Amino acid sequence: MFTKVLVANRGEIAIRIIRALKELGIRSVAVYSTADKNALHTRIADEKVCIGSAQSKNSYLNAPALISAAQIKGVDAIHPGYGFLSEDAGFAEVCEAAGIKFIGPKPQDIELMGNKLKAREHVNKLGIQVMPGTFQEIEDEQHAIRIAKEIGLPLMVKAAEGGGGRGMKIIYDEDQIPNIIKIARAEAKTAFGNTSLYIEKYFENVRHVEIQIIGDGNGGVVSLGERECSIQRRHQKFIEESPSVAVDDKLRNKMNDAALRITKHINYRGVGTIEFLLDEKGKFYFMEMNTRLQVEHPVTEFVTGMDIVAEQINIAGGQKMSVSQKDIKLKGHAIECRINAEDPETLVPSSGIIHTYIQPGGPWVRVDGHVYCGYEVPPYYDSLIAKLIVWAEDRDSAIRRMQRSLDEFIIEGIKTNIPLHKKILASKEFLLGNISTRFIEKFI
């Protein structure tokens, strides 16, 4: 196993990983930008090193600085967390070339799944239903119009190198096509350094349901069940739960089976998530695979009793998987609310000094956060400041537990989305589980 690991991330996920490392008896090295000098992850890690200035490209996205930091600290492995370089096949390769284990999938798997068109092709060949749409990139506007006629409006234009909800545009009208293609291409170039686009059918009344899997790279892959992630805002997940009210045992088996086929076929190593759209008739479509740890992994930890991050580290360190599929049973119900430092009306990120910070606690309440009283939220990074996760015997009890936890959560000095979470949790439609990816849009 590893003796020292560098965590190439910040915020709550850096803390989550450092916690797992400590519990496994592995020394942890935090990296930080000059803006994160007082960040909590630098305080709880065993060692820390400043890798660059505030802008992510100079620090958390600065691969040479990260490798250099890993070398001067003499680590065995790098954990990339999520976001930043976690799905960068090139970074994974550079790590391995430098003799540092990358705690994540094999570079070729990151690459295969990172290109959404290749991933669609891979999955389609296995006979698993993918989202209706193209398997080639869009050549030009005329090509896009031909596709639109073929599969019918509305459509969604996506960046081939995008993912995680970024770089997506909806087309409701054929006339919009030339314009949207132009904008999407420009955005894709800026965001992903690649202008490749493709088109999928856009479904309106669907759920986003994903399957958490974990593989040991030796053909062993286990599914940890589904997460319901339909409550989204601007394609960003907002509330996640497990299990999904729309998934019964039969459907769960089918989805697990599809996820396992997709990943077993490539002998997948590490944690990953297969994202599906689920329609009202119980038919599901492959959207994409995320080849990394996900923000919402705690809901699965709560219902399975499995420490996903520890398992991920152990597998990367060469250990065997600690569970087999028959050990996995979902017990009770877990819900996660993402607490963001943002204006609940405008969604504009809110930076500033937190002068009151009182966390909820008590039974089956988990907070994965990284801020504290007196901390200044810097304006440079993601607005997620804490994940509030609860578990209870059943969904109704979990909702009530989440409601009282949101009531207890006092953050002053910056704006947060807590009021919106409270509104959603108190709504009849949420309580009934009548949700879709357009829930918040219709709700506000």
Residue among 59, 32, 2, 33 at smallest CA distance from 312: 2
**Any contact of residue 69 with another protein (CB under 8 A)?**
yes
Q: Nearest-CA neighbor of 11 among 372, 407, 359?
A: 372
The one among 4, 201, 400, 423 contacting a second copy by CB under 8 A: 400
Per CB under 8 A, 77 contacts a second copy: no
Among 208, 401, 415, 421, binds a second copy (CB under 8 A): 401
> Closer CB to a second copy, residue 98 or residue 410?
410
Residues in the chain: 444
DSSP classification of residue 265: T
Tokens representing 326 are 């028959």
| Burial label, 409 (beta-carbon count in 10 A; 0-12, 13-18, 19+) | buried
| Of 52 and 272, CB closest to another protein | 52
Asked if residue 2 binds a second copy (CB under 8 A), the reply is: no
CA distance 440 to 230: 9
- By CB under 8 A, is residue 65 in contact with another protein? yes
Which residue lies nearer to a second copy by CB, 163 or 413? 413
Q: Check binding of 413 to another protein (CB under 8 A).
A: yes
Under rule CB under 8 A, residue 267 binds a second copy: no
365 binds a second copy (CB under 8 A): yes
Which of the listed partners (a second copy, another protein, none) does 52 bind, with a CB threshold of 5 to 8 Å by partner kind? another protein
Structure token digits, residue 52: 């660059």
Q: What tokens does 169 get?
A: 């545009």
Of 43, 7, 8, residue with least CA distance to 370? 43
Instruction: Check if 185 is active-site.
Output: no
Stretch that binds another protein, among 46-54, 220-228, 248-256, 319-327 (CB under 8 A): 46-54
The first and second tokens of residue 323, run together, are 């569970």
User: Residue 410: how many CB atoms within 10 A of its CB?
Assistant: 11
**Taking Cα atoms as reference points, which of 30, 32, 81, 35 lies closest to residue 377?**
35
Residue 85 contacts another protein per CB under 8 A:
no
Q: How far is the CB of 255 from a second copy (least distance, A)?
A: 25
Is residue 358 part of the contact set for a second copy (CB under 8 A)?
A: yes
Whole-number Å distance between alpha carbons of 52 and 67: 13
Q: Tokens in use for 113?
A: 């799944």
Task: Kindly tell me which of 73 and 254 has the beta carbon lying closer to another protein.
Answer: 73
Beta bridge partners of 157: 169, 199
**Interface with another protein by CB under 8 A: which residues?**
34-35, 37-38, 49-54, 59, 64-65, 67-69, 71-73, 98, 353, 355, 374, 376, 412-413
**Interface with a second copy by CB under 8 A: which residues?**
15-16, 19, 22-25, 40, 43-44, 298, 301, 305, 307, 309, 331-332, 356-359, 361-369, 372-374, 393, 397, 400-401, 403-404, 407-408, 410
Catalytic residue annotation: 292
